[in-house]
Structure 1
Amino acid sequence: MNKKKIQILATSDIHGYVMPTRFAHHTNEALGLAKVSTIIKEKRLQAPTILIDNGDFIQGSPMTYYQQKYEKKEQNAMIEAANALEYDALIFGNHEFNYGKEALQEAIQQSQFPWLAANIQNEHGKVFTKPYIIKEIEGIRLAILGMTTHFVPIWEEAKHIEGIHFQDAFEATRQWTAYIHEHEKVDVLIVAYHGGFERDLATGELVEADTGENQGYQICKEIEGIDIFISGHQHREIATKLFDKSVVQPGTKGICLASIELTVEVDDKDNIIAVTHEPFLIYLGEETPVDAAIAQLNTPIYQRTEKWLDEAIGTVKGDIRLKNAFDARVHGHAYVEFINKIQMAVSGASISATSLFHDEEGGLPNEVTMRDIVTNYIYPNTLKVLRLSGNDILQALEQCASYFTIENGRLAVSPSFKYPKAQPYNYDMWAGIEYTFNISMPVGGRVTTLTRKGERLDLDAEFDVVMNSYRATGAGNFDMFKNCPTIKDIQTDMTEIIADYFQQHPVIEATCNHNWKVIY
C-alpha cells in the first residue's frame, strides 16, 4: 500500500490587497497577497499543489479603486499578481462585478487561469465562463466546481450585470455535483463557493435570516459527493469538518491561507483504497517575508496609489475624527453628519441615511487627503434618491433599531449583526428627521418618536430620501426599499463626490446636531 499527498490551497476575499498594508499608516501588517505568496511557495515545495481563489479578488482596496479610476488601460494589477502566483482557478465573488462588465471581461481575458461560475449564465442561458475544471495529479482526478452566492442582483447595479443571470447556488451545486460524478469519474470533488454559512456549524442553529444569501450549511448537509468545501464572503476564519467534508474559510485581505491536506491510499496497482483530508489555516505574521517577485510586480501601481492618497483635498475646522464607532451609532457624530450633509447637497434630497462601514477608528483629520477619504469610505457606492412613504421610513428605522440589544444591563450590538458575519454597515443613521429608539421595547416597536422639523412624521406622506446604492436595493434586510421608485440615480463614486465637495468647500466645519437618541 502506498500513500500520495496532495495539497489544496485557497485564498478568499483578498479584496485587492497585495502589499502588507491597509493604506492607512502601517506598511508591514500581517496581510496581503505578497506575504501569502511566500507561504504558497513554501507549501509547494512539500507536495503537489492546487491553488484556488474563492472570489472578491479584484475589488476593495484603494489601489484597485485608483487603477480603475485612473489607470484602467494598464494590465490589471490583481490579475498580474494572480498570474505570477499560477492560480489554478478563480471563483467569481459578488464584488467582482462592482467595476462593471467591461472591466470584468478585461480581467478575465488577461487571466492565465480559468474563472469558474457554474451558477452564472449569460443572456443565452449558457454558463458565463466554465462551471468546473478537472485536474489530474499523481493519477488522482480532482474536480473544482465554482459557485457564487446568487444574491448578486440584489446588491449590484443593474447595468453591471445586464444579460447575466444567477441560478440558486444550492440547486446548481446539486445538479453539477451529480453531473460531474456521472460524467467525469473523479476521485475528489472540491466545491469552491463564494458564499458562507447560514447556520452555526456546531449546533445547526439558524444564525441569520434564511434568505438564500449563504447556503453553505445546507450544501454540506444535503448534497452527497462533495469532499472539500471552500467558502468565503463572510470573512470568517474556519477550518473544520462538517458532515465528513473538509470546510475552510480563510478570512479576508490575505490574513491567512487555507490548506487542505489530501492523503490518498493506493494499492500496488495504483487502485485507490481510501481518501482522507484535513483542513488547516496558516496565518501570516508581521515577520512573514514579502515575496520580492510579487512586490516588484505591484510596486509601480502601489507607488502611484500612495502618491495619489497623499494629495491634499481640504481642511476641517473642529474635530471630525472618529474614535469609537459604537458611541457614534448611539449618540451621533460629526463625521456621520458630514456624510449625510454631502449626500443631501449633491442629491437635493432633504432626508439622508448613511452608515459607518466598520468598527475601527476613522473620521477625518484637520488636513484631509485622499487617503483619509478612501480609508473611511471603503466601498464603491454611488447614490440613489428613493421616494419613500413615512411608513417606509418608520420600518427602516425599526430595522436600524434591531442593531442594539441589552446585555448585563448595558447597551450592546445584537448578535445577529455580529455573527456569522459582522455587519456594522447595515445600521443607518439618518439626517433630516428626528427620532428616538427605546431598546427596552421589543424589536419592531422601538421607534418611540419620529418627527420632521419638530412635527410628527406623516406616515402616509411621501419623502425623497438619499442613500447609497447598496442600501437602495434593499440589502441588509431593508425590504421596504425594494419596490420604491428611484427619483434620482447619481452615477459618481462616493469617494469622488466627497473629494468634489471639498473642492467646492475647501474648509468645512465639524457639526453634530444630535437628531436622534438611543435609550434603554
Structure 2
Amino acid sequence: MKNIVTFKILHTSDIHGYIYPNSYTTKQEGDFGLAKLSTLIKSVKDEKTILIDSGDTIQGSPLTYYYSKQDQDNANPLANVLNEIGFDYVTIGNHDFNYGKEYLLGYLNHLDAKILNCNLLDIKTKNPFKGITEDIMIIDGVKIGLIGVTTHYIPNWEQPSNIENIDILDAFESTKKQVNSLRDKVDFLIVSYHGGFERDLETNELLTIDTSENQGSKILNEIEGIDLLLTGHQHRSLFGTRNKTIYTQPGYNAQNLAVVVIEYNKDSKSYQVLENKLLDLQNIKADQKVLDLVKEIEDETQKYLDTPVGHIENDLLILDQLDARINKHPIISLINHIQMKYTNADIALCGLANEVSGFRKDISIRDVIGTYVYPNTLVVKKMDGRTLKLALEKTAEFFDLKDGEIVVSDEFNHPKLQLYAYDMYDGIEYTIKVGNKKGERITSLTKNGITINDNDEFSVCMNNYRSSGGGDYFFIKDCEVINDTQTEIIDLLVDYIVETKDIKIPHKDNIKVIK
C-alpha cells in the first residue's frame, strides 16, 4: 500500500573504542566490537533505515588511549569505521571529551554522519559546539525528526580545559524546548540522548540519588510528543515502551544492536511498532573491511601493549573483584604510593574499574592499562578531618550485608555496575563496620596511629573525576586545589615502573572491612 511506509531505526551507544572483537587483556575473541557489529548492521540495513550512535564512541579502549598519544593530523579511526558502516547520525557522549577537544574534533570533523547536539553550545555564538540542533529525514514522504542531547553532568567529571568555551545546558530543558519546536513539523520524532534512566521503568521508583546525571525517566514522564527515545551512558541493555514512547539502550563496547521497525500510516497519521529488540553478536563474523581499515593502528597498539616495563616477584592478578576491595589488593597500595611520591601528598586514594587485570611477574604496558583503565589526571586537594570522614563514609556505602556476608550494595550493581565507586586510601588507617547504618560505618580513623580530628588538615591526592565531585562527592569538589598536575595517572604508573624496574609493593594492611 502506497500510504503505508515501513522504516527502521538501528541504534548503538557506548562503543568506547572497541573495534576488533578481541580482549586487550587475554587476546581472546568475544562477541563485541564494531567489526562484528558492522556485519550485523549491513545484514539488516536497507534504504529505509536510519542508523544512529548515541555517544561515548572514541574513548575507553587501549586502542583509543594509544591513538590519543599520537599526532592528531588524520581522521580518528573511529570516524573511518563509522563512515564505512554508514552511520547517519551521532550524538556526543561525556567520555568523548576525555582526551581533549583536538582529539574529539579529529573524530567529529571527519564524520559523514550528521552530529545532533542541542545542548552543548559555543559559549560565544550560542550555536551548537559542533553539529546541528535538529534534523528532518524524509522516507517515502514520512517526515522523521531527530534531536540529539547529552547529559549536562559533564562538568562534574571533566577537566575544565577539555570543555573550555562550551556552554552545557540542562539536558531535559533543552530536549523539551527542541521537541516543542520540531513536533508539529514531523510525523515521527526521535530523541538520541546520551544519558540513562534514573527511575525503574516498570514501577517508576527512583533508583539512585536524583542528581540529574540521568534524566531519561523525566523525559519519558514529562515531555509529550517523543515517539522514540534512544539512550545510553548506563551501559544497560533495555528496550520497551513507556507513556507511549518507545525506548532503547544497547549495552556497551558494541555488544548489541537496537532495532526498531515502524509501520507508518500516512492516511491516519499513526504508526505501530512492528519490532523493538536488541540483537547480539553470537555467530557473527567480523567485517573484514572494518578490520582492514584499522589494522595498522591496531597492530601498533598491540605492539605498544606488549612493551615490557618492569618486573615483580610474583603475579599480582586480580581474580576476585569483591575480595580485591574487602581485602585491599596490593596493587592499590602501589598506585597510591606512586601518587603520593609524585605529589608529596599526605594521603592518596584510588579505586579499581569494573574489570581489571592486575600485573603479571613481567609487567607490560598491557598490564598497566588493563589495571588502570581511565584517562584520569592527578589532583591534590586540601581536606580537613571532617571532610575526610565524610568521604570515607561515602565510600563505605559501597558494602552491604546479605545473609550475614559482606556484599556489594545493590545501588552499585543496579541500574549500572559501579565497582569503580569504591575508593581505598593510603596514608591513614581506618575501619569500616558494614553492619552499622550509613553515615556511621567508620569506627576508627587514624594517621600513624593518632586519631584524626575534624580540624586536622591534609593534602590528599586523587583523580580528577573524584576531585570534581564525580560519584556525588560534592563536598570534595568544594575543597581547595593545591596542585592540579594535568598528568595522566597511567603515565605516572608506567614512568615509575620503567624507572624502578624491580618493583617492590609497599603494601599496607591499613583498611579493615568488618561485619
Flag whether TM exceeds 0.5 (same fold). Answer: yes
Q: Aligned to 1:417, which of 383, 390, 412? A: 412
User: What CA deviation, in whole Å up to 9, does each residue of 1:317-373 have, x standing for no partner?
Assistant: 234221112112111111111111111111111210000111x45210100111111
Q: How far apart are the structure 1 equivalents of 2:268 and 2:235?
A: 35
Matches within 5 A, 1:363-442: 363-442=358-437
Q: Which residue of 1 aligns with 2:449?
A: 454
TM-score by length of 1: 0.96
Which residue number corresponds to residue 510 of structure 2?
515
C-alpha distance in 1 between matches for 2:487 and 2:147: 36
1:166 paired residue among 165, 168, 172: 168
Which letter does structure 1 place at the counterpart of 2:34? L
Distance 2:249 2:98 in 1: 22
Q: Which residue of 1 aligns with 2:178?
A: 176
Q: Aligned match of 2:327 in 331, 346, 355?
A: 331
For 1:342, the equivalent position in structure 2 comes to 338
* Pair 1:280 & 2:282 matched: no
Q: Take 2:183 and 2:9, find their aligned partners in 1: how far apart are those partners?
A: 20
Alpha-carbon separation, structure 2, partners of 1:410 and 1:115:
48
1:269-317 per-position Cα deviation (integer Å, ceiling 9, x unaligned): xx344212242100112x2110111111011111111111111010012
Following TM superposition, by how much is the alpha carbon of 1:474 offset from its aligned partner in structure 2, in angstroms? 1.1
Q: Which amino acid aligns with 2:463?
A: N
1:251 is matched by which residue type in structure 2? G
Instruction: Work out the CA distance in 1 between the residues paired with 2:474 and 2:250.
Output: 31
Distance 1:29 1:71 in 2: 30
Q: Which residue of 2 aligns with 1:81?
A: 81
SS in 1 for 2:294: helix
CA distance in 1 between partners of 2:343 and 2:74 (Å): 33
CA-CA distance at 1:482 after TM superposition: 1.1
**What amino acid maps onto 1:156 in structure 2?**
E
Instruction: Note the 1:466-477 alignment, pairs <5 A.
Output: 466-477=461-472
Cα pair 1:321 1:335 within 8 Å, conserved:
no
Aligned partners of 2:358 and 2:370 also within 8 Å: no
* Counterpart for residue 12 of structure 1: 13
Rounded Cα–Cα distance in structure 2 between residues aligned with 1:273 and 1:484: 56
Kept in 2: contact 1:332–1:512 (CA 8 A)? no
What CA distance in whole angstroms lies between the structure 2 residues aligned with 1:361 and 1:104? 26
What is the CA distance between 1:258 and its match in structure 2?
0.6
Distance 1:279 1:375 in 2: 35
Amino acid at match of 2:199: R
Q: How far apart, CA to CA, are the structure 1 residues paired with 2:374 and 2:381?
A: 20
Q: State yes or no: 1:483 paired with 2:478.
A: yes
What is the identity, as a one-letter code, of the residue corresponding to 2:293?
L
Q: Secondary structure at the match of 1:378?
A: coil
Letter in 1 for 2:412: F
- For 2:192, the aligned partner's letter is A
Aligned residues of 2:91 and 2:117 also touching (Cα < 8 A) = yes
Q: Amino acid of the residue matched to residue 170 of structure 1?
A: F
In the TM superposition, 1:102-113 aligns within 5 A as 102-113=102-113
SS in 1 for 2:289: helix
Q: 2:135 aligns with which of 118, 133, 136?
A: 133
Look up the SS of the partner of 1:496 in the other structure: helix
Distance 2:183 2:195 in 1: 23
Q: 1:51 aligns to what? A: 51
Amino acid at match of 1:411: I
1:62 matched residue in structure 2: 62
Counterpart CA distance in 2 for 1:218 and 1:111 is 31
Report the Cα offset of residue 401 of structure 1.
0.6
Q: Residue 352 of structure 1 aligns with which residue?
A: 348
Question: Match of 1:242, as an amino acid?
Answer: R
Amino acid across the alignment from 2:390: Q
CA RMSD of aligned residues (A): 1.3
What is the distance in 1 between the residues matched to 2:378 and 2:430? 23
Show the 5 A alignment for 1:223-242. Answer: 223-242=223-242
**Is the 1:319–1:510 contact (alpha carbons within 8 Å) kept by the matching residues of 2?**
no
- Is the 8 Å Cα contact of residues 356 and 372 (structure 2) preserved in structure 1? no
1:393, distance to aligned residue in structure 2 (A): 0.5
Query: Unaligned stretches of 5+ in structure 2?
Result: none
Equivalent-residue separation in structure 2 for 1:393 and 1:505 (angstroms): 31
2: distance between equivalents of 1:30 and 1:71?
31
- Cα contact 2:137–2:144 (8 A) shared by 1: yes
Q: Distance in 2 between matches of 1:116 and 1:480?
A: 34
| Matched AA of 2:476 | F
Distance 2:60 2:433 in 1: 36
Q: Is the 8 A contact 1:318 1:510 kept in 2?
A: no
The alignment's TM-score, normalised by the length of structure 2, stands at: 0.97
Cα deviation, 1:25-78, whole Å, max 9, x if unaligned, reads 234210000100001101114x61100000001111100111110243232100
In structure 2, give the amino acid aligned to 1:227: D
> Match for 1:255: what amino acid?
Q
Matched, 1:320 2:316: yes
Q: Which amino acid aligns with 2:110?
A: Q
* 1:324 counterpart SS class: coil
Task: Tell me the secondary structure at the aligned position of residue 172 of structure 2.
Answer: helix
Aligned to 2:300: 304
State which drifts further: 100-109 or 48-57. Answer: 100-109
TM-aligned CA deviation for residue 231 of structure 1: 0.4
Aligned residue for 1:70, secondary structure, equals coil
The 2-side partners of 1:76 and 1:353 are apart by 33
- The one-letter amino acid of 1:470's match is Y
Which residues of 2 match residues 120-159 of structure 1 at below 5 A? 120-124=120-124, 125-128=126-129, 129-159=131-161
Aligned 8 A contact 2:72 2:106 in 1: no
Q: Which residue of 2 aligns with 1:195?
A: 195
Partners of 1:211 and 1:25 lie apart in 2 by: 37
Q: For the residues of structure 2 that align with 1:106 and 1:256, how far apart are their CA atoms?
A: 26
Shift of 1:119: 1.1
Q: Which runs of 5+ in 1 are unaligned?
A: none
Separation (CA, whole Å) in 2 of partners of 1:410 and 1:476: 25
Percent of aligned pairs sharing the same letter: 38
Between Structure 1 and Structure 2, how many residues are aligned? 511
Helix, strand or coil at the partner of 2:135: strand
